[in-house]
Amino acid sequence: MSWQQSRINRKHVLDALKRETGSSGGDAAAKRVNAYRKDPIGADTTEFGYVGALTLRRFYVDPAKPNATERRALWATLTKKMGKRGAKDPGGWDGTIDVKTLQMLVEEEQVEEGEEE
């Protein structure tokens, strides 16, 4: 995968989180997250690392979230955006996972035969 695609995939995660939660990672992170979402290719490597290190709890706020339904919705959105529709959610992740790890999980999942777009 190219470095450009990796940056675009990180934007997909941030976009999905914004769509699912209405948040850009809280007041302290919002400006940087929104700037990265606007220009993932041109963003400095520091910003790529910063937004990747944010945990989902920064977006969901409630420590009990994302719940199972929200995780399924987020996974479906991400697999669609990253061309991995049909990829099985490996499970075991919750609000403590960071953006870069969730991105990696989606990127590495294999699509079930017959499930590709």
Measured CA to CA, the distance from residue 40 to residue 22 in angstroms comes to 20
Q: What's the predicted TM-score (pTM) here?
A: 0.92
- State how many domains the chain has: 1
- 61 occurs within a structural domain: yes
**Alpha helices, DSSP H only, in 1-111?**
3-21, 27-38, 45-53, 57-60, 68-81, 99-108
- 112 occurs within a structural domain: no
- 117 occurs within a structural domain: no
Radius of gyration (C-alpha) of the chain in whole angstroms: 14
Measured CA to CA, the distance from residue 7 to residue 22 in angstroms comes to 21
- 113 occurs within a structural domain: no
Question: Comparing C-alpha atoms, which of 117, 45, 41, 46 is closest to residue 86?
Answer: 117
Q: One digit per residue, pLDDT tens: the chain, 117 residues?
A: 899 999 999 999 999 999 999 999 999 999 999 999 999 999 999 999 999 999 999 999 888 999 999 999 999 999 999 999 889 999 999 999 999 999 999 999 877 655 444
- 28 occurs within a structural domain: yes
Measured CA to CA, the distance from residue 101 to residue 113 in angstroms comes to 24
Range(s) of the domain holding residue 14? 3-106
